[in-house]
């Protein structure tokens, strides 16, 4: 009996000792934090370097990264993990998914940490913060703020057809006119296109981009109303459909099904003369097409549309519900998304923009070609994709709507109205708790 | 009396042994067939988003399905595919089997050429065909162009995507060809000789001797082909990145079911779809079997 | 009489030759059609990236000819006048400085005036890069694990059950067999969701367990095949063994199994191929990239690097080759198996 008590006492002392050690910061116990991220290929190596940098200056925390392909409508892995109560400690969430994941109870709100560590909405570019706030709580912090998009044009192609290579199109009318001059055919096939309006990173992203450029809006957060049939959005889709009709959409899509990637990217090899550019492509071009003669500017706008239009995308970091080490996960999140050193590392290593507007990284790239322009775009950015639980559904609906419109199966108005109605239905169900 | 007791004890022993040997499948039937079938019927009447437990909603899923335009699109797509791919496959496989049955030299080589494509892993085959069918640079358009035939836009054109998949499916009929080949070798020579003496031409011989004799094999592949076509999924998923495009032209029933279950997390809805599929397959198969007496002959009748 | 018979013989022979001729022609045409895709697969896999998106396409893989100058490799071009040059400097406006390789003066020309020099050859970079980025060996290992365990599980469970359904006389055996057959009519979609829910609750998701454990519980199709085969083994053999005092399990293990080697080989082969080929199972249950099987890995590769056709073709080739090799070594078993399924029930 006495022996048992003795062992029990020893046991308690040991446990208390461990606990005490953690609190007094002289611990030998290292907290292992797993974070699931969406980067494959080259970006994966870069992110691993960011993780290394964090681990180096945080000896008590070791972050392990795992690549999970996060197709926006395919969050299988994360959701089944939460359902099975085996989630990672931190998770990358695509900015527009935050509200949905929060509504489904998959995330932990960050407010208590934000208050404790003095992180507020003023620290971030407005649309970045807006993406992560839902129902009055903050659910994620912006890891990278992608200013979508810059507009680029191939100077060599311009020169070839007699356009002034230093004068990019500034209005939609100019885009149309230049496109007609730049598009080249060989027999029945298209071999160069001026611009493919719906090929700016998918149908849905394209309609978002041009919809805002035309002055439209997609969602009213106050009334929870989906406004896909907004007249300016309809104008944008009508504009896309005009290309589909003039050049035969099946021919254009046959053309684009032959596109390559990396060094065979259609813009880099000159078979697409104008397009919207993502910030990560600046590095891409430097690596795969260093001799590409191109210019970079703002997205053109129609008369009465929005000048210098853009929206913010990018990835955010959140803490899943059921995370085993939320405190340590928060340390990692705060370092990457809010601290000067961390955000600068993200910028320098991955070539992405932090969401933290006062990050020292911005001073280093203010005058860098390409990045400087993207910074200007980010500073004027006013939009982010709708923050509501049916956003993934909305993306799918818009995807389909653009498809049906450009293939002539529905008029732009019908297509957008249908997408809006079905998304509204879905949204109402989700808001009602189903 | 003693004999009867001995017999019943042997019976009991046999029953025990039989059950023992069959225990794996008994467990399997219980856990992986009976329970899931009942559950999925139950789920089909529920709202079941993975993270929350199922909530009974009665016929709401079925009502929503019948009001869902994509449900009808996916049914049409699958029906279209089944209606064309299965007969086409049977015809091509039968023709190849007839050709191989002619006992020409080098038959083994040709037989291999026709069979190997059917064992190519489905995903690899889909990737290959996606590239073959590429409208800008693919081999098929290159060959058509070289022969001065019109080139198609294949998977980029909603009107051509399903035909492209149907053409692709005929590449894999090697298995059916072998079934027919084996059956052809069983056709009694006397029947051929007799009809030849009656003055039947080769064509007539085929229709009046070969086909009736092969009807059980043809029927078997018809039923299996139809059931397989109703569940067509992998190739469409891989080749359209899970979307079923363009404009839902390749959004087959199984693909839409998968999307509902694992992309939209509407598991109850997906289960309702599954039961409708089951009923359709049952009805159609029963129909096929019931009418089979009219065109299937068992045991070499003339 | 004899002359007429001769004439009809001759025409019969001519007819036969015609049929043979047509048969050969048809076989060659079909044979080419069926084999061409493989040729295209291989040809593309050996092409360098810059020559894949090309119209009209190269039939044979053409490699860029390079010239070594001062330790670096430069692609070779020909000018309009046939002179062979390398590019020494790129200038804006697509103007380039070129230098002839056989000595001579540099000149400045428009890049459009140059044609690249190519010759047929094999480029292995699609294989080395593709297999590295997929990552091939890890997925091969995963696939093999699933395949081997599936084969073991299937052979074990199906042979046991087939024995119980064919070699033991007991009441209810036919009922069980009928029930089993009827499950073959059940489309997997009906049971897909509840089974997934079971595995989520068991926390077996994202492991190989959902793909392997069910194989130990039997497979209706293979049970059916093995049962048919076992029934062709004469009863007297097992009766004799019983008289010698063997238990059912002994008879199963020492008598029936060895006699059934060809059927078992076929079942094992088919299970292996089915598991190698399986896409839906891994798609639903495997989420960690490190656990992907080859089928799933290739599909994901297509989704991400969708337009890197060279790598896609190289990886597809490597995924397909083992099955084709397996086929060539086991042709007879394979073909026997297929013909057995077509037999009248």
Mean pLDDT of all residues belonging to chain A:
88
Each residue's pLDDT expressed in tens, for chain B with a length of 302 residues: 566 667 788 888 888 888 888 999 999 999 999 999 999 999 999 988 877 789 999 999 999 999 999 999 999 999 999 999 999 999 999 999 999 988 778 888 899 999 999 999 999 999 999 999 999 899 999 999 999 998 999 999 999 999 999 999 999 999 899 889 888 888 888 878 887 777 777 777 778 888 888 888 899 899 999 999 999 999 999 999 888 878 899 999 999 999 998 888 889 999 999 999 999 999 999 999 888 877 777 654 43
Tell me, yes or no, whether A398 and A425 share the same domain.
yes
- pLDDT of C245 reads 80
Give the residue from A84, A248, A257 with the most B CB atoms within 10 Å of its CB, the best one to mutate: A257
Model pLDDT, residue B202: 73
Contact at 8 Å (CB) between B188 and B125?
no
Based on the fold, state whether residues A121 and A213 are members of the same structural domain: no
Asked if pLDDT for residue A147 goes beyond 80, the answer is yes
* A155 and A273 belong to one structural domain: yes
Residues in C touching B136 (Cβ below 8 Å): 53, 55
Q: Give dist(CA A250, CA A241) in Å, integer.
A: 12
Task: Looking at the complex, report in whole angstroms how far the Cα of residue B232 sits from the nearest Cα belonging to chain A.
Answer: 21
Pair A412, A234: CB distance under 8 Å:
yes
Enumerate residues 6+ apart whose C-beta is below 8 A from B163. Answer: B84
Name the residue with tokens 């993406």: A131
Q: How confident is the model at residue A2 (pLDDT cuts 50, 70, 90)?
A: low
In a domain, A21, yes or no: no
Same domain, A338 and A266: no
Is the same domain home to A84 and A111? yes
Mean pLDDT, residues A338-360: 93
CA-CA distance, B131 to B134, in Å (whole number)?
A: 5
| pLDDT score, position A3 | 56
Neighbours of chain C (3+ CB pairs under 8 A): A, B
Is residue A215 predicted with pLDDT exceeding 70?
Answer: yes
CB A294 within 8 Å of CB A265: no
Give me the residues paired with residue A189 across strands: A186
CATH code where residue A162 lies: 3.40.190.10
C96 CA to chain B: closest CA distance, Å? 28
**Per-residue pLDDT tens over the stretch C27-79:** 999 999 999 999 999 999 999 888 888 888 888 888 888 888 777 888 888 88
> In the predicted model, what is the mean pLDDT of residues C314-329?
91
Are both A321 and A265 inside the same structural domain?
A: no
The predicted structure's pLDDT at residue A371: 93
- Asked if C288 reaches chain A (Cβ–Cβ under 8 Å), the answer is yes
- Quote the CA–CA distance of A128 and A311 in Å, as a whole number: 10
Give chain B's domains with CATH numbers: 2-61 (no CATH), 63-295 (1.10.3720.10)
* pLDDT of the residue at C49: 84
pLDDT at C104 over 60: yes
Question: Both A270 and A222 in a single domain?
Answer: yes
Q: Which residue from C93, C205, C305 is facing A80, i.e. has the nearest CB? A: C205
Q: Tell me the pLDDT tens digit for each residue of A374-409.
A: 999 999 999 999 999 989 889 989 999 999 999 999
Residue range(s) defining the domain that contains residue A104: 31-147+312-384
User: Tens of pLDDT along A234-290?
Assistant: 999 999 999 999 999 999 999 998 888 788 899 999 999 999 999 989 988 998 998
3-state DSSP assignment of residue C344: coil
The answer to whether residue A423 is domain-embedded is: yes
Residue C314 pLDDT: 94
Closest chain C CA to residue B126: C299
Residues of chain B with Cβ-Cβ distance to A106 below 8 Å are 51
pLDDT in tens, C210-243: 999 999 998 899 998 899 888 888 888 888 888 8
Query: Which residues of C fall within a CB distance of 8 Å from A67?
Result: 289
% chain A with pLDDT above 90? 70
C90 — contact with chain A (CB < 8 Å)? Answer: yes
Do A352 and A219 fall into the same domain? no
The answer to whether residue C138 neighbours chain A at the CB level (below 8 Å) is: no
The sign of the CA dihedral B260, B262, B268, B270 is positive
- Which pLDDT score is estimated for B3? 66
- H helices of chain C, in order, are 2-45, 125-133, 136-166, 173-183, 188-201, 209-212, 220-231, 235-243, 248-250, 257-259, 261-277, 280-285, 294-304, 309-329, 331-341
Contact of B213 with B187, CB cutoff 8 Å: yes
Exposed, middle or buried by CB within 10 Å (0-12, 13-18, 19+), for B224?
Answer: middle
Within a domain: A270:
yes
Q: Decide if A277 is inside a domain.
A: yes
Answer yes or no: are the C-beta atoms of C88 and C106 closer than 8 Å. Answer: yes
Q: Testing the interface with A: which of B51, B56, B244 to mutate, by most A Cβ within 10 A? A: B51
Please, what are the domains in chain C?
A: 66-116 (2.30.30), 134-304 (1.10.3720.10)
Task: Check CB contact of C186 with chain B, cutoff 8 Å.
Answer: yes
| B205: Cβ contacts below 8 Å, ≥ 6 apart | B192, B195, B196
Report d(CA C99, CA C83) in Å as an integer. Answer: 10
Strand partners, C86: C76, C99
A319 within domain boundaries = yes
Same domain, A231 and A341: no
A155 and A64 inside one domain: no
pLDDT at C248: 82
Query: Is A255 domain-assigned?
Result: yes
Touching check for B134 and chain A: CB below 8 Å?
A: yes
What's the structural domain count of chain A? 2
- Which of the residues B14, B18, B122, B233 would you substitute to probe the C interface, choosing the one with the greatest number of C C-beta atoms within 10 Å? B18
Each residue of C140-186: pLDDT tens digit? Answer: 999 999 999 999 999 999 999 999 888 888 888 889 998 998 888 88
Q: Rounded mean pLDDT of A318-341?
A: 94
Both A160 and A237 in one domain: the answer is yes
């Amino acid at each position: 009996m006495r022996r048992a008590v003795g062992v029990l006492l020893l046991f308690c002392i040991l446990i208390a000792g461990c606990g005490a050690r953690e609190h007094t910061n002289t611990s030998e116990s290292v907290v292992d934090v797993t974070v699931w991220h969406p980067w494959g290929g080259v970006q994966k190596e870069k992110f691993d370097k960011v993780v290394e940098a964090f681990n180096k200056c945080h000896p008590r925390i070791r972050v392990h990264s795992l690549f999970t392909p996060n197709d926006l409508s395919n969050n299988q892995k994360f959701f089944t993990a939460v359902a099975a109560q085996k989630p990672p400690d931190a998770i990358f969430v695509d900015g527009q998914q935050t509200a949905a994941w929060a509504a489904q109870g998959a995330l932990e709100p960050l407010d208590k940490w934000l208050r404790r560590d003095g992180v507020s909405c003023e620290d971030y570019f407005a649309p970045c913060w807006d993406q992560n706030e839902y129902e009055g709580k903050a659910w994620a912090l912006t890891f990278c703020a992608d200013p979508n998009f810059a507009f680029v044009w191939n100077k060599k192609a311009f020169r070839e057809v007699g356009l002034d290579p230093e004068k990019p199109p500034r209005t939609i009318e100019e885009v149309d006119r230049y496109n007609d001059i730049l598009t080249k055919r060989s027999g029945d096939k298209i071999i160069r296109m001026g611009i493919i309006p719906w090929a700016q990173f998918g149908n849905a992203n394209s309609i978002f981009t041009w919809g805002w450029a035309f002055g439209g809006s997609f969602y009213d957060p106050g009334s929870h109303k989906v406004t896909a049939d907004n007249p300016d959005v309809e104008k944008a889709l009508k504009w896309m459909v005009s290309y589909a009709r003039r050049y035969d959409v099946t021919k254009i899509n046959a053309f684009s099904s032959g596109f390559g990637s990396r060094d065979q990217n259609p813009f880099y090899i000159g078979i697409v003369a104008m397009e919207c550019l993502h910030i990560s492509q600046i590095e891409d071009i430097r690596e795969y097409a260093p001799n590409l003669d191109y210019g970079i500017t703002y997205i053109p706008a129609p008369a009465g549309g929005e000048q210098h239009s853009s929206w913010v995308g990018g990835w955010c970091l959140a803490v899943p519900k059921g995370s085993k080490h939320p405190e340590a996960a928060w340390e990692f999140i705060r370092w990457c998304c809010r601290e000067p050193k961390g955000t600068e590392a993200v910028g320098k290593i991955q070539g992405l923009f932090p969401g933290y507007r006062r990050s020292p990284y911005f001073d280093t790239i203010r005058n860098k070609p390409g990045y400087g322009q993207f910074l200007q775009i980010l500073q004027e950015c006013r939009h982010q994709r709708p923050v509501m639980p049916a956003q993934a559904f909305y993306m799918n609906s818009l995807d389909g709507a653009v498809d049906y419109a450009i293939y002539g199966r529905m008029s732009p108005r019908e297509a957008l109205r249908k997408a809006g109605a079905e998304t509204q239905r879905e949204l109402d169900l989700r808001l009602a708790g189903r | 009396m003693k004999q009867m007791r001995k017999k019943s004890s042997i019976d009991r022993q046999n029953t025990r042994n039989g059950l023992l040997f069959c225990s794996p499948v008994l467990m399997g039937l219980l856990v992986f067939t009976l329970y899931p079938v009942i559950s999925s019927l139950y789920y089909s009447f529920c709202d079941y988003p993975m993270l929350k437990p199922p909530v009974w909603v009665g016929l709401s899923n079925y009502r929503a399905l019948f009001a869902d335009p994509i449900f009808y699109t996916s049914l049409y797509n699958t029906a279209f595919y089944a209606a064309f791919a299965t007969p086409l496959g049977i015809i091509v496989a039968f023709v190849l089997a007839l050709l191989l049955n002619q006992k020409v030299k080098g038959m083994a080589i040709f037989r291999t050429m026709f069979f190997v494509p059917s064992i190519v892993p489905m995903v690899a085959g889909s990737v290959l065909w996606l590239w073959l069918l590429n409208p800008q640079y693919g081999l098929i358009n290159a060959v058509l162009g070289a022969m001065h035939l019109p080139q198609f836009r294949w998977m980029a054109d909603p009107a051509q995507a399903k035909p492209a998949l149907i053409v692709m499916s005929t590449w894999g009929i090697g298995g059916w060809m072998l079934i027919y080949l084996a059956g052809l070798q069983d056709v009694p020579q006397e029947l051929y000789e007799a009809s030849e003496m009656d003055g039947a031409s080769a064509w007539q011989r085929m229709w009046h001797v070969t086909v009736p004799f092969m009807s059980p094999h043809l029927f078997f592949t018809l039923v299996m082909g139809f059931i397989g076509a109703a569940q067509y999924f992998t190739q469409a998923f891989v080749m359209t990145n899970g979307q079923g495009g363009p404009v839902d032209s390749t959004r087959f029933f199984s693909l839409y079911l998968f999307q509902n279950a694992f992309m939209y997390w509407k598991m109850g809805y997906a289960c309702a779809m599954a039961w409708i599929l089951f009923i359709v397959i049952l009805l159609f198969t029963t129909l096929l079997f019931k009418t089979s007496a009219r065109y299937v002959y068992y045991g070499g009748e003339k | 009489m004899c002359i007429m018979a001769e004439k009809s013989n001759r025409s019969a022979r001519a007819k036969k030759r015609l049929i043979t001729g047509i048969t050969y022609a048809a076989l060659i045409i079909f044979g080419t059609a069926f084999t061409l895709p493989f040729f295209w697969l291989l040809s593309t896999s050996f092409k360098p990236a810059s020559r894949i998106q090309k119209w009209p396409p190269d039939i044979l893989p053409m490699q860029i000819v390079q010239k070594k100058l001062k330790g670096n490799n430069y692609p070779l071009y020909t000018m309009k006048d046939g002179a062979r040059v390398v590019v020494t400097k790129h200038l804006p406006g697509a103007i380039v400085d070129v230098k002839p390789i056989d000595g001579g003066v540099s000149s400045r020309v428009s890049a459009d005036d140059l044609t690249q020099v190519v010759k047929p050859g094999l480029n292995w970079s699609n294989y080395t890069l593709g297999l590295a980025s997929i990552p091939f060996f890890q997925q091969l290992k995963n696939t093999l694990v699933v395949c081997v365990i599936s084969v073991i599980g299937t052979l074990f469970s199906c042979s046991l059950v087939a024995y119980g359904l064919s070699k033991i006389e007991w009441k209810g055996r036919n009922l069980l067999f009928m029930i089993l057959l009827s499950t073959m009519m059940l489309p997997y979609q009906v049971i897909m969701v509840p089974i997934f829910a079971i595995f989520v609750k068991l926390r077996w998701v994202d492991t190989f367990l959902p793909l392997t454990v069910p194989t130990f519980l039997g497979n209706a199709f293979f049970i059916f095949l093995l049962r048919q085969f076992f029934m062709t083994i004469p009863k007297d053999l097992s009766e004799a063994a019983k008289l010698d005092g063997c238990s059912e399990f002994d008879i199963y293990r020492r008598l029936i199994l060895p006699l059934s080697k060809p059927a078992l080989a076929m079942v094992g082969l088919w299970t292996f191929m089915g598991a190698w080929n399986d896409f839906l199972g891994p798609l639903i249950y495997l989420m960690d990239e490190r656990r992907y099987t080859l089928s799933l890995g290739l599909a994901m590769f297509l989704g991400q690097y969708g337009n890197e056709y060279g790598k896609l073709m190289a990886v597809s080739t490597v995924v397909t080759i083992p099955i084709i090799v397996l086929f060539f070594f086991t042709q007879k078993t394979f073909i026997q198996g297929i013909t057995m399924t077509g037999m009248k029930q």
